[in-house]
Amino acid sequence: QVQLVESGGGLVQPGGSLRLSCVASGFTFRTYTMTWYRQAPGKERELAATISASGSTNYADSIKGRFTISRDNAKNTIYLQMNSLKPEDTAVYYCNLWTGIYNYWGQGTQVTVSS
């Protein structure tokens, strides 16, 4: 069965950096687009960044230039490198797989940006 396990969240000061990881299993990882979503307190979940099977990337305007999504197919892992973090980046970050039929989510990892 599909499993997505995020890690790497934590508390960081404004301007700091974090790297999130999502380890995937149960499907042919290298053939799928993978996505990071985030959900801030009191807000709806929103798409943050996407990486296709070929490595093409797309970002929400709010994080463009500060965050980088990448993937390591040998490790079945995607990453989200987050730099120049702002308090408004505080959210639970989720890894997502959409197969075209089924939608899978990880358990999420909390990122808190605060001084």
The pLDDT of residue 32? 97
The pLDDT of residue 104? 97
Q: Are 10 and 18 in contact (CB under 8 A)?
A: yes
The pLDDT of residue 71? 98
pLDDT digits (tens, 9 = 90+) for 92-113: 999 999 999 999 999 999 999 9
29 pLDDT band, cuts 50/70/90, is: very high
Average pLDDT over residues 21-42: 97
Q: Are 3 and 66 in contact (CB under 8 A)?
A: no
37 pLDDT band, cuts 50/70/90, is: very high
Mean of all residue pLDDT scores within the chain: 97
Q: Are 34 and 57 in contact (CB under 8 A)?
A: no
84 pLDDT band, cuts 50/70/90, is: very high
Residue 16 tokens, joined: 């700091």
